Amino acid sequence: DGSVIICTGGFAADFGSDSLLAQTRPDLMHLPTTNGEHCTGDGIKMSMAIGAGTVDMESVQVHPTGLVHPDEPDAKVKFLAAEALRGVGGLMLD
């Protein structure tokens, strides 16, 4: 009997009230994400359902630079603005 390590995608695009994000970092629920809409933690949830343990689930990276589409300023999923954009003179507005 040995340990099994499973690595799956993230869960930061799951904004449901019973999501992994709500359970582990409810303080981040109001923020948008630069994770794809597919990042809902399905692999983690399936593993937990059969008794898998987890570690460091509260360690969620918050990336400061998501592009805001003018037609959808309140969208919860943003496009990640890579560091390269800032490196060539992109302006960051708060």
Q: Just list the catalytic residues.
A: 63, 86
Give the Cα separation of 12 and 35 in Å (integer). Answer: 6
d(C-alpha 32, C-alpha 38), whole Å: 14
Closest-CA residue to 21 (of 75, 53, 58): 58
